[in-house]
Amino acid sequence: MDLQNRFNFRRVISRQLVFLSIVLVAYPASLAFGQAAKTAVTAEWDRLVDAGRKEGKVTVSIPASPEMRKQLEDNFKKRFGIEVEVFTARGSAAVRRMADEFKAGVRHFDLHIGGSLSTVSGMLDEGIIDAIEPWMVLPEVKEPKQWWGGHMWVDNAQKSIYMFQAYLTESIWINSELAKPTDFRSYDDFLAPKWKGKIGFLDPRTPGAGDSNWAHMWAVKGDEFLKKFVAQDLVLGRDQRLLAESLAKGKVAVMIGLTSYSLQPFVKAGLPVKSVPAMKEGTYGTGGSGNLAIIKAPAHPNATKVFVNWLLSREGQEIVSKALGQATRRLDVDTKWLRETGVIAAKDQMTVKEFLQVENQSEEKLDKVREPAQKLAAALLK
């Protein structure tokens, strides 16, 4: 090797050694910074949990699901030593009580989990709920990359009603001793004379899956179809448990508008209840009961923050998804098993764009689809 080449070689080696020394110095510093940041989050979380324990409890309004109630009460208290006071009711009744108490200056409830229509009309429009992102503390909750579609919202302002679930649902059920899944391939099949007086329906004049199904039928079939459908002497009800029981006991042959958690007790008991695949006209996308709203100035702010972060964590979403039989948007929670119950997670089936085209639970779709459909229901179902 000549003199010039030896010089160039030494210069290259020298530069590489300088670079390596910089990396070796910077690497421990970056580790220390990352560890410090992690330690800071842990310390903040520990202080938050301690403050929540001192408050003693968090008061949560949830869907009328005994299984979800049990899982929340058992798991959250065991995890954090904070009581969960659970209020279960249909969404419309729950939000009415919360709004009335809020206006009277009473702070009993901390947060609500439920359907979108009642949450928008009874809470968002009443101005009683807070922006949610400031309540997110844990990185696994705050970071959009943990969620299919990133952070998704019901409200147009995209800040106050957080949609932590997204799925397509089979919300049409039959008593298999009275009907077969193949009896219903299209909505037109419900107009057959043999089903007159044998079709149950969760009252579409009130918020819920009955209203969602009715709105989808209105969107794909129109006014004239629904007029003929109502002439089938629908068996209407607002109590999901009683409607589920009427199907299981054969008082009706088919039921529309009930979600999985209402019927699972009868399925587990071996009664002849089965879901029906989507009609050829398709189905709607929804967040189901998986929408979160936080009351402004809640009674137990620290316990509320702990609960919100646990609820939206991997652990919380696994528990809630199984209890409700509905599909979370968290990417690290398995939802493929839900197919057995007639629920298809949006993240397992479609793109975000496709879901946004078929969903009918956002504030925008409530105005454009659900509201006019509900007005028709009020006119026809007297």
- ∠254-210-187 over CA atoms, to 5°? 50
For the record, the structure tokens of 155 come out as: 């409200």
Contacts of 168 (CB under 8 A, 6+ apart): 278, 283, 284, 285, 286, 343, 344, 346, 349, 350, 358
CA distance 66 to 81: 21
Q: What is the pLDDT along the chain (382 residues), one digit of tens a residue?
A: 554 444 454 554 455 544 545 444 555 544 444 454 457 678 899 999 999 999 999 999 998 888 899 999 999 999 999 999 999 877 778 889 999 999 999 989 999 999 999 999 999 999 999 999 999 999 999 999 999 999 999 999 999 999 999 999 878 999 999 999 999 999 999 999 999 999 999 999 988 889 999 999 999 999 999 999 999 999 999 998 999 999 999 999 999 998 777 888 888 889 999 988 889 999 999 999 999 999 999 999 999 999 999 999 999 999 999 999 999 999 999 999 998 877 899 999 999 999 999 999 999 999 999 999 999 999 999 8
Specify the pLDDT at position 339: 87
For the record, the structure tokens of 206 come out as: 């009130």
CA distance 215 to 375: 10
Handedness of CA 176, 181, 187, 188 (dihedral sign): negative
How many Cβ atoms are within 10 Å of 70's Cβ, its own excluded?
Answer: 12
For 59-95, give the DSSP string.
EEEE-S-HHHHHHHHHHHHHHHS-EEEEEE--HHHHH
- 220-259: string of b/e by CB count within 10 Å (b at 16+)? ebeeebbeebbebebbbbeebeebbbbbbeebbbbbbbbb
Handedness of CA 86, 260, 320, 351 (dihedral sign): negative
Specify the pLDDT at position 169: 80
For 227-282, give the DSSP string.
HHHHTTT-EEES-HHHHHHHHHTTSSSEEES--HHHHHHHHHTT-SEEE-PPPTT-
Mode of pairing for the β-strands spanning 162-163 and 83-88: unpaired
Specify the pLDDT at position 280: 93
Specify the pLDDT at position 32: 47
CA distance 258 to 238: 10
Per the rule left: phi > 0, alpha: psi between -120 and 50, beta: everything else, 348 is alpha
- What amino acid is encoded at 91 in this protein? G
Instruction: Report the SS3 class of residue 201.
Output: strand
- What amino acid is encoded at 355 in this protein? F
CA distance 72 to 199: 34
Specify the pLDDT at position 7: 44
How many Cβ atoms are within 10 Å of 8's Cβ, its own excluded?
Answer: 12
Contacts of 66 (CB under 8 A, 6+ apart): 88
Please give the sequence-ordered ranges of beta strands (E in DSSP) within the chain, or none if there are none.
57-62, 83-88, 111-114, 162-163, 167-169, 172-175, 199-202, 235-237, 254-256, 273-275, 285-286, 291-294, 343-345
Specify the pLDDT at position 166: 98
How many Cβ atoms are within 10 Å of 264's Cβ, its own excluded?
Answer: 18
CA distance 96 to 99: 5
First-to-last CA distance in the chain? 100
Specify the pLDDT at position 201: 98
Contact 285, 168 (CB under 8 A): yes
